[in-house]
Amino acid sequence: MGNLILPPSLTRELPYAVTAQLSELPQEAQREFFEEYNRNARTTSIGYILHLLVFGTHYAYLNQWILQFLYWFTAGGFGIWWFIDLFRIPSMIEAHNNKIADQTLRHVLVKYRYGLKNPTTADSISSSSYSSAKGSRFMLRTPYDLQKKDTGKDNSINLEKRSISKIRPIAPRILDSPEADPMRLSIINIKAGYLVDFDLTTWETVQEWQYDWDNGNSGKEFRLVNEKETLHLYIRNEGTQLHTILARKVNIHSIDRELEEEIQTNLRPPSVLNHQEIDYFRENTKTGWRHELTAKTSANKLTIWEYFDETMTFFMRIEQLEGQTYKATVGEVISPFEFSNVLPKE
């Protein structure tokens, strides 16, 4: 973070993933980020003033007009909603500002052509088209874990890697992770046994897996539960960019009745799948090992196929564990700043 010229008060407020990328940008880009962020960020004090003195207009302040009209229509949830928001406003302001920081950073990255996976695409993208991008979808216009081709490498090295990959690993890889601030944990710090807020609901992390792929990359999966449903959170930290996908488990036969048979026959699923009137296109095929970190069981060899729709927004993942066990999940790319209040359960 030594290259940051932003005020210390602002860097303490920003998420780690944002400050890490800002530190790699020139001073001009950092100043532009600072000016744009300050124009759009919100403050807790004004949020309380609007909540207490201006008939609860704090949702309008955060550009959440649907919630604002619902709040007015129910008279603040007959007072209950009004009382609860007395304690929620700081976290609401923080979540809003995190989204603003994410959007502002991506605007600066596009303009200065930093951190893009496909620089030629950036040449055709203007700042006006960027501003219409939703969440972190733009960052994932190229899939978040696209496998790299081993061009220029000796074939004997590749053969050696393939033979090593068949050996069952004793333990998962040790992954580099940023130092956690216990007072400002983010989704990158989540572990089994943690709580996290998403979509106005608190979720408990009850299971954690690590995937170590044969191409040298790794990723995490978490099972999140509340009283009504279960979600699967996929996380990959690629350099200073954090990519998150939230999905639900579905029956593999609900995608295609013949899907399991086709995988067994052709050793892979079709290149295009349709589920609930959305076309998904196969992007990645990865092989590696799955470690269940909560139960600390032995690793399982698996192959996965990842699909995205044409907008790179909706996501499908099909897993085949050794022994012909299948798992399918369908979900959506989510900005990491949509998660808040990451805390240990106890």
Q: Which of 6-10, 291-295, 305-309 has the lowest mean pLDDT?
A: 6-10
What does the pLDDT read at residue 239? 61
What contacts 24+ positions apart, CB below 8 Å, involve 47-54? Answer: 47/89, 47/92, 47/93, 48/89, 51/82, 51/85, 51/86, 51/89
323 against 74, higher pLDDT: 74
Note the pTM of the prediction, 2 decimals.
0.58
For the ranges 152-156, 203-207, 328-332, the lowest mean pLDDT is seen at: 152-156
Which is more confident, 8 or 333?
333
Q: Compute CA distances 51 → 43, 62, 74, 77, 104, whole Å.
A: 12, 12, 15, 13, 27
Provide the token pair at 115: 């951190």
Helix (H) or strand (E) holding 22: helix 16-22
Q: What is the mean pLDDT of residues 226-234?
A: 92
- Residues 58-116: pLDDT tens digits? 999 999 999 999 999 999 889 999 999 999 999 999 989 988 988 888 888 777 754 44
- What average pLDDT score do residues 14-28 get? 79
